[in-house]
Amino acid sequence: MNLLLLEPQHFLNDHCVALDQRQLRHVLDVHQARVGDELRVGVVNGQVGRGVITQLTAETMQLSVTLDTPPPPPLPLVVLLALPRPKMVKRSLQHLTALGVKKIVLMNSYRVEKSFWQSPWLSPEKVREQLVLGLEQARDTIMPEVILEKRFKPFVEDRLPQMMVGRRGLVAHPVAGTSCPHQLNEPAILAIGPEGGFIEYEVDKLEQAGFEPIHIGPRILRVETAVTAIVSKLYD
């Protein structure tokens, strides 16, 4: 945890916050902080700054905070991610959030098992937990938007065209296309398939929507590894 992410309910007044539970345990066990120590803080969807510990016990912690710095700039990238297995969903959401992606679409694909959509990790509360962890890792505060699209064809035909306005469409496909572009200076929308990749029908539909197939070499990567590798290459 590289930043204490503050929620509105944490504020006692404009400059004083009180924290307990998970964040307090981290400060006590990992930072081993004491009264007077300064920690990096930020408020959800707001500024970043510093907090000085004014009270600290095993049950609660209070800080005097100053929020005076904007968060890191977001990436101009939308990611369409074929829904991974539940354990990968958690890691992928954390990685994408830490990288600065602010719009993530978890979408259906032929190779996505139907049972994945029943996972408790897709509940709004569980999704938000992973986004918070990603923000804390990257010292960011702007909460990403996560959209669930359970039907591939209606999404690609009816809603995706509006998302693509002003963006370059790229679909990661390990057996076709050109090498992944590097250091883009334009907004983009990136589609990443499930384990085994998109089927040809899905690639064709994305191409019809204006997507370019790309690859990052002959190796087949796990979803969370491919997410990090491709996004990092597109925007250093």
Q: With cut-offs at 50, 70 and 90, classify the pLDDT of residue 227.
A: confident
| Poorest-pLDDT segment among 14-23, 94-103, 174-183, 208-217 | 174-183
Q: Give me the pLDDT at residue 87, please.
A: 86
Contacts of residue 191, defined as CB under 8 A and 6 or more positions apart, other chains included, come to 79, 80, 81, 82, 107, 169, 170, 171, 172, 198, 206, 211
Range with lowest mean pLDDT among 19-33, 74-88, 141-155: 19-33
Fold of 4-69: Ribosomal Protein L25; Chain P (2.40.240)
The arrangement of strands across the sheet holding 4-6 comes to: 4-6, 38-43, 48-56, 61-69, 16-19, 11-13
**Distance separating alpha carbons of residues 35 and 53, to the nearest angstrom:** 5
pLDDT averaged over every residue in the chain: 93
- What per-residue confidence (pLDDT) applies to 49? 97
Cα separation, 41 vs 29, in Å, equals 18
Q: What is the CATH number of domain 77-234?
A: 3.40.1280.10
- Domain regions of the chain by residue span: 4-69, 77-234
Best CA proximity match to 103, nearest among 142, 157, 47, 155 = 142
pLDDT tens digits, 168-195 = 999 998 766 788 888 899 999 999 998 8
Q: Indicate the pLDDT class of residue 226, thresholds 50, 70 and 90.
A: confident
Q: Kindly state the percentage of the chain with pLDDT values over 90.
A: 79
The string of pLDDT tens digits covering residues 97-131 is 999 999 999 999 999 999 999 999 999 999 999 99
pLDDT of residue 218: 74
